[in-house]
Amino acid sequence: MATIEEIRNELNDAKERLGEATEKLKKWKEGKYKGKKLEEWEIELIEENLSEAKKTELKERMERLYEEKGKLEEKEGFWRGRVGKLQDALVKFDGGEEEKNHLKDDKADEKMDISSDIDFTKPKEAFSINFQDKQQIVKDFLNYAEFCHEQASYMSDYVPYIAIVQSSGYGKSRLIKEIAREIHTLYLNLGIGQDCFPRPTECAEQIISSFQSSSDPTVWFNNLLEKAMFLIKEKSMSPSELWRQQEDGGRIFWKDVLVAADRNEPIGRFKSEKKTKSSNLHLEQLGNDKYNIKILFCIDEGRKLIEILHNNWNISLFQCWRRALQNSSWRSCGVFSVILDTTSRVSNFAPSKKDDPTLKTLLTYYIFPPFIDICTFNSLAIDEGDPYDITFSRGRPFWKAMKDVYFEERSTIDAWRNVITLARVKLQGGGSVNRNLDVNVRKKNLITMAVIASLCSIDISPQEHFAGDLVASHLGTCIGISTDRTRILVSYPPEPVISEAALQLLEKDLLTDFAETLKQGIVEPGKRGELVGELILLLTRKQVKQRERKNFYMDSVSLTGFLEELLVENIVLKEEIDEHKYFKTAEISFTRFVTIGRVPSYYDLIEAFKTCVAFNLKRNHKGADILIPVKVGTQYTVWLIQIKNHNRPYGDSNIQIGAHKLEIREANWGVGTRLTPDEKPRTHYIVFGLNSFKQGKSCNNELCSLLVAYIDPHHKIWSERVLDTSKSDKTWCRDRQIQSFLPWEGFK
């Protein structure tokens, strides 16, 4: 760990480098033959009638300048990020008030290794990784969008847009890129100032300001579309060419479009709000008879529209945009829209009537259900190669893409450590929290729930605002949304990267906070004893990793070593008999628990061991509550645990959580084993009381508070996507998509 002086010196150096990089970028932009020349060529390319040869020559020159500019921006972005990281680190050492005030969030005292720089300046490379569409997401989205467009075309009470809602890292923007290969897509990224890809639209601020001050948002919107489609037709752009012009900022394309939108009067074909034959002219000439949608207008990082009010109408720009879509003449001509955002709740873009006053007064105003089925889970998972790559590649594709592109020059271990650091930041909502400050109560609840749900098999109450925040800012996966959009089913599927991050955050204080969330009804009432059992096992897993100095929690550990760390007075598997000798080389690998809806197969054991998963068996499973895969040599077996949450001893119980005395003894088990078919097995034990466990003893108060204090993801309220029943009886079954997120949940 670096000292405070070393961090301060490094921070001063980074600030100096940032100043140099910023100055170089500024000079380049102001240079007569650099930035200024690039602006001249951009205007010339749009406004002048140039020959194809001249256009090609001009584009080649511009490409060289774009490359120069990109390198300068990349360097400036790197040093800006480095300064921010060092300032965070200095705060953790209680550094000066200047650094504290620089940060928006209160910082936790969590230790952070700043010895390696994380280069977050290669988003374009990560975004360009081949899209693995194993679940036919593109086809599903196009089918759904086409259906919604058809409904909106002849039913004026439907607003012609879809909100795409899912957690960070699944590939919402990447899906749009794939759609843009098929359909002409107008892509407007409002993520002003963000280091992301696709890059924020360069004139996004001007577009927002223009829309905000427009006298009539509907006229402004129609003018914007009119000019955009004129440019597409004039330059004979294919869908792919149109996307390429926009994904890197789209300055050339959107600058001219904005000029047209700023006119106070309707232009060209929009002097009348009625649809005319000529109003559809551009769309008819765009080609591609495969789809009824001719133009897909996509707004990325759409929360900007929610944050800003219109100057005259006193409603958000999002509501203005929605109203403009509702009243637009283009809706029946092949124009449809999507809106997405990484950190916005479902209620922002697909609100229920109780959440949006502008909907309450419009009785015939319907919004299409959001599209949440970005089923890219395990799409970049690999089955051969480095063991860490095999395990950590499981889950959303973002983790593997980050490791491969951002950290390609590092060792595998260092690369994954940095990915896990990023996951830890995201799990905490983009920062960390000081648990001593009451002002952070809601944030502490969200972080606590995110951490526990990433490790344990709990059911989170589908309250829209709380569950929505978990999806928006804390890596929760949206499994389903009720038809009225007042309930959201959120889950944390098994992702080893997130489990590693969550185990780093699992501490005593967090258990206390979790007990409070149980009292608030944020977690569904259920198997509290099993939950405490899982936490004891996970806390022990954490201790074993630290004792044995493993690289990661996912590294397997010996069963006997784990038992030594688990029990205060360990008598388990210590006799010199064949049954006990068999387990001398046994290993376990679990870092989290998931609920399984069926009896696990042998294949399930192999996969669970590889992905560091242990099972919480279905409710009322006979004879066991928890199943932990165990590997012995090349074979697999199980460790079964049954939990009773009360103070009466049961002869067939493996763990007696509720009792307060300390005792471990062999159980009287009447069934033989393969090793001793004619004898009672000697591998069954009863453990009485929390104090029999080392972690139960050290965290007794926290775990006891959890003890005092059933969701089905395939229920039709989550698995069916329906439109308003008064308008359509069309039902979209989502069992297959839900199953892709929860591979061990059995169909009902």
Question: What pLDDT band is residue 225 in, cutting at 50, 70 and 90?
Answer: confident
> Locate tokens 């007696």: which residue?
656
d(CA 156, CA 323): 12
Name 48's Cβ contacts closer than 8 Å, sequence gap at least 6. none
Structure tokens at 353: 């009537």
pLDDT at 606: 93
**Which tops the pLDDT comparison, 328 or 386?**
386
- Nearest-angstrom CA–CA distance, 72 and 472: 32
Q: How many whole angstroms separate alpha carbon 517 and alpha carbon 507?
A: 16
**Distance (Å, whole) CA 237 – CA 244:** 10
Q: Tokens 């259900």 belong to which residue?
A: 369
User: Tell me, what DSSP letter sits at residue 406?
Assistant: I
How much is the pLDDT for 733? 78
Structure tokens at 528: 């509290």
651 pLDDT exceeds 50? no
Higher per-residue confidence, 137 vs 5: 137
Backbone phi and psi for residue 162, each to the nearest 5 degrees, phi listed first: -125, 140
Q: Give residues with Cβ within 8 angstroms of 536, minimum separation 6.
A: 566, 690, 693, 695, 696, 703
Q: What is the DSSP string of 575-616?
A: SSSHHHHHTTT-EE---EEEEESSPPPHHHHHHHHHTTEEEE
Q: CA-to-CA distance for 400 and 392, rounded, in angstroms? A: 7
Q: Are 624 and 640 in contact (CB under 8 A)?
A: yes
Between CA 362 and CA 315 the distance in angstroms is: 15
Q: Is the pLDDT of residue 116 over 50?
A: no
CA distance readout (Å), 485 to 279, 489, 504? 35, 11, 34
Q: What is the pLDDT of residue 140?
A: 93
Give the model's pLDDT for residue 176.
Answer: 92
Give me the residue label for tokens 């004879």.
Answer: 623
- Residue 638 has phi, psi (to 5 degrees) of -135, 155
Q: What Rg, from alpha-carbon coordinates, does the chain have?
A: 29
> Binning pLDDT at 50, 70 and 90, where does residue 680 land?
low
Average pLDDT for 456-476 = 84
pLDDT mean across residues, the chain: 77
Over 70: is that where the pLDDT of 607 sits?
Answer: yes
44/48 Cα distance (integer angstroms): 5
Query: What pLDDT is stored for residue 186 in this prediction?
Result: 93
Calculate ∠ Cα 437-438-444, nearest 5°. 85
Strand order in the sheet with 663-666: 643-644, 655-656, 685-688, 663-666
Q: What pLDDT does 306 receive? A: 85
Q: Do you find a cis peptide bond into 198, omega within 30 degrees of 0?
A: yes
pLDDT range class, residue 108, cuts 50, 70, 90: very low
- Rounded to two decimals, the pTM is 0.74
- What percent of the chain has a predicted confidence (pLDDT) above 90? 20
Q: What is the DSSP string of 213-266?
A: H-S-HHHHHHHHHHHHHHHHHHTT--HHHHHHHHHT--HHHHHHHHHHHT-SS-
Answer yes or no: is pLDDT of 605 > 90: yes
For residue 610, count other CB atoms closer than 10 A to its CB: 18
- Most confident segment among 128-132, 211-215, 704-708: 211-215
CB 737 within 8 A of CB 375: yes
Among 6-10, 51-55, 114-118, 683-687, the minimum mean pLDDT is found in 114-118
Asked if pLDDT for residue 477 goes beyond 90, the answer is yes
Burial (CB count <10 Å: 0-12, 13-18, 19+), residue 533: buried
80-110: buried (b, 16+ CB within 10 Å) or exposed (e) per residue? bbbbebbbbbbbbeebeeebeeeeebbbbee
Instruction: Write down the pLDDT at residue 614.
Output: 95
Percent with pLDDT over 70 in the chain? 74
Q: Give the 3-state secondary structure of residue 460.
A: strand
Look at residue 551 and tell me whether its pLDDT is greater than 80. Answer: yes
